[in-house]
Chain A
């Protein structure tokens, strides 16, 4: 039996717990997720797990039988949840608690596992604007990738403009020389109809889609698609249900970054911004090494706020920084690489009603651990604080401060872009200036300069440049990965 069915884990008691301790734990847990106070369907599911666990552990005979017949579960993943504060002053007003969730692999499992098979589809925009150097850069960057694929991997390439064509059909053991020759003869011409490309790419991927494989689609585009954005987004949501990850790669300045973020985000993927030959090549290199070192795929997160609390905001700070849509649960978090971590920051609002222990929320993680063939591996972590009239002041943990100080810069940038788009020029200019001074204070002189240039441009022309806006957006995101460089 896997950890998800372990009744001890569900009730949060050790195997040595007495009958009284089990009963108390059950009462507390059952109250937290009681359907009357918690209408969310996921809370009901949690409630039935708790009831099922108590049905076993609350009965001495069944508990003894369970203990005798069940080996203790061996967790393969770890979830650590750090709160920004452990004490809350007893004020009947809204207060903020942040939680930093880190998901890692149990170290003893990561060495012995073979690399998982990769099922990869590249969907390449070949519209007129890709002509010349841009398309050549992409072609050059794809060639080394083909050499890295093994015989167990499947690979396909789709090119699209007004319509889509399959350049390399999905297959194992494909003819590398032929694939390279086909890619090298790609030419640019036509419009950008992204939906066509996405449909063909997903169709190729579907032919070999497997729960034990890493199923990813990489979409490269340099332009805006018109009229088919909503359909593309719906298609991405469906692909996510099939366990497919979509990654966006935007080239140049014209592509729609919020659309691509939304598209990739629905599947747990991320968007990258590239504008040089070197960064295209690096992107593929890193993507490929990420795919072959995957430990768990299709990570899903459910955020259940307790009564009196609400989740306000969430952001994935690692491995690929990306905004999270809390409305679409489960939240898809993509892959966990070996020796790496997936990190999510969640901001809760709570209003204490009495002193004592205050539950803020439960974060539940589901993941497919490929090499061990453990699907829907489940982990959960709780966030709780103690409310006291004389709550001592405390210094927030360094990891939270670190993540929040970067998020702070990213959110200032988002704010400036939103204010500029809404025509609030003066406000946006001020926000950009504030961003610039914060960036300077953290030693990011080049980005600070970009923010100042855009502030002046905004004051003069009422608009930010697409290049400046993207540089700030992806530049502040890249601060989360110190090893990443700007394109």
Chain B
């Protein structure tokens, strides 16, 4: 059984389009809309190396990086602006593609997501009480937590300061009880 990343409807393995919402259920060159670009696929060894031109910044102190009232904050490596995630139980991370109707809550498009191999719907962050999990949504290049690759569609709980890699895009998660 596979799960539609958009509407969560369950379909049998091998189904190509979600019967509920029409979303394409596999990554690939399906409908090459003129300006919709497909996620480029990287070799496995490319993904463990830090992307070029990226100086690994010192791990910031969680306490000073997390503004007090927020519970969940992510920061894309190399970017100064933290992204505050407020008000939802679930946030999908990916590369927005309006032409295909794909609008993740956290659109990583502005962070060179296409170049870094982020899928349109790459992973989902879920908050259930004090527990925050990350689930890879069957992405092309996979999701890593602190360098460990996740099995697709299998939630993994996160701790404050964990590093995520979506393809070659690195970001850090900060959690604090609100």
Residues of A at the B interface (CB closer than 8 Å) are: 84-85, 88-89, 91, 93-98, 349, 395-396, 398, 400-401, 404-405, 408-409, 411-412, 415, 434-435, 437-438, 440-443
Contact A411 B28, beta carbon cutoff 8 Å: no
Instruction: Say whether, besides A408-B22, A441-B33, A441-B99, A95 and B14 are in contact (CB < 8 Å).
Output: yes
**In the complex, how many angstroms separate the beta carbon of B119 from the nearest chain A beta carbon?**
14
17 residue pairs of the A-B complex, CB under 8 angstroms, read A84-B14, A88-B14, A94-B13, A96-B12, A96-B14, A96-B15, A97-B14, A98-B16, A396-B26, A401-B30, A401-B31, A405-B24, A437-B101, A438-B22, A441-B100, A441-B101, A442-B33
- Seen from chain B, the residues whose Cβ lies within 8 Å of a Cβ on chain A are 1, 11-17, 19, 21-22, 24, 26, 28-31, 33, 36, 99-101
Q: A434-B21, A435-B22 are in contact. Are A85 and B14 (CB under 8 A)?
A: yes
Partner of B16, one of A91, A349, A401, A437: A401
Which of chain B's residues has its CB closest to A396's CB?
B16
The listed residue (B22, B29, B30) touching A434 by CB distance below 8 A is B22
User: Given A401-B31, A412-B22, are A93 and B1 also a contact pair (CB < 8 Å)?
Assistant: yes
Q: Which 5 A-B pairs have the closest CB atoms?
A: A96-B14, A437-B101, A408-B17, A395-B28, A438-B22
Complex Cα distance A443/B98, Å? 12
How distant is B103 from chain A, measured CB to nearest CB, in Å? 9
A64 to B11, CA, bound (A): 52
Chain A residues whose CB sits within 8 angstroms of the CB of B30 once the complex forms: 396, 401, 405
State whether B12 touches A94 (Cβ < 8 A): yes
The CA-CA distance from A96 to B17 in the complex, in Å, is 11
Q: Shortest Cβ distance from A96 into chain B, in angstroms?
A: 4
Residue of A nearest to B103 (CB): A437
List, in ascending order, chain A residues with CB within 8 A of B1's CB: 93
Secondary structure at the B interface, as helix, strand, loop or mixed, is loop
Q: Smallest CB-CB separation from A400: which chain B residue? A: B16
Known contacts A396-B26, A401-B31, A405-B30; is-contact A84 B12 (Cβ 8 Å): no
Within the complex, the shortest CB–CB distance from A29 to chain B, in Å, comes to: 26
Residues in B whose Cβ lies below 8 Å from that of A349: 12
How far is B77's CA from A286's CA once the two chains are assembled, in angstroms? 61
Q: Are A96 and B13 in contact (CB under 8 A)?
A: yes
Best-surrounded residue of B12, B19, B29, B100 (most CB of chain A within 10 A): B12
B33's nearest neighbour on chain A, judged by CB, is: A441
Question: Can you name 17 extra interface pairs (CB under 8 A) apart from A96-B12, A96-B15?
Answer: A88-B14, A91-B13, A95-B13, A96-B11, A96-B14, A98-B14, A396-B26, A398-B29, A401-B30, A404-B16, A405-B31, A408-B17, A415-B19, A434-B21, A440-B101, A441-B36, A442-B33
**Residue of A404, A437, A443 contacting most chain B CB atoms (<10 Å):** A437
Minimal beta-carbon separation of B121 from chain A (angstroms): 14
Once bound together, how far apart are the Cα atoms of A398 and B33, in whole Å? 14
Pairwise interchain contact A95-B21, C-beta atoms closer than 8 A: no
CA gap between A18 and B22 in the complex, in Å: 50
Question: Which residues of chain B are near A396, meaning CB under 8 Å?
Answer: 16, 26, 28, 30
Q: Residues of A contacting B14 with CB < 8 Å?
A: 84-85, 88, 95-98
CA of A409 to CA of B19, assembled, Å: 10
| A404 near B101: Cβ-Cβ < 8 Å | no
Q: Which residues of A sit under 8 angstroms from B19, Cβ to Cβ?
A: 411, 415
When C-beta atoms are compared, the residue in chain B nearest to A351 turns out to be: B12
CB contact under 8 A between A395 and B22, given known A93-B1, A95-B12, A404-B16:
no
Known A395-B29, A435-B22; contact A405-B100, beta-carbon cutoff 8 A: no
Which among A84, A91, A98, A438 is the interface contact of B101 at CB below 8 angstroms?
A438
Q: How far is the CB of B98 from chain A (nearest CB, A)?
A: 8
Contacting residues, chain B, for A440 (C-beta < 8 A): 99, 101
Report how far A203 CA is from B87 CA in the complex, Å.
Answer: 70
* Alpha-carbon distance between A395 and B28 when the two chains are bound, in angstroms: 7
**Which residues of chain A come closer than 8 Å to B21, judged between CB atoms?**
434
In the assembled complex, the Cα of A409 lies from the Cα of B23 at a distance in Å of 10
**B61 smallest CB distance to A (angstroms):** 41
- Chain A residues contacting B31 (CB-CB under 8 Å) are 401, 405, 441-442
Asked if B100 and A404 sit within 8 Å, CB to CB, the answer is no
Inter-chain CA distance A405–B36, complex, in Å, is 15
Q: A349's closest neighbor in chain B, by CB?
A: B12
B34 vs chain A, min Cβ distance (A): 8
Residues of chain B lying within 8 A (CB to CB) of residue A408: 17, 22
Kindly provide the distance from the CB of A351 to the nearest chain B CB, expressed in whole angstroms.
Answer: 10
Closest to A98 in B: B16
A396 to B16, CA, bound (A): 9
CB distance from B140 to the nearest CB of A (A): 10
Contacts of A395 in B (CB 8 A): 26, 28-29
Task: Give the distance to chain B from A97, nearest Cβ to Cβ, in Å.
Answer: 6
Expressed in whole angstroms, the Cα–Cα distance for A443 and B12 within the complex equals: 29
Shortest beta-carbon distance from B99 to chain A in Å:
5
Chain A: CB-nearest residue to B7: A434
A404 to B26, CA, bound (A): 13
Contact residues in B for A85 (Cβ distance below 8 Å): 14
Give chain B nearest CB distance to A419 CB in angstroms: 11
CB-nearest residue of chain A to B29: A395
Residue among A84, A401, A409, A440 with max Cβ neighbours from chain B (10 Å): A401
> Please, which residue of chain A has its CB at the minimum distance from the CB of B24?
A405
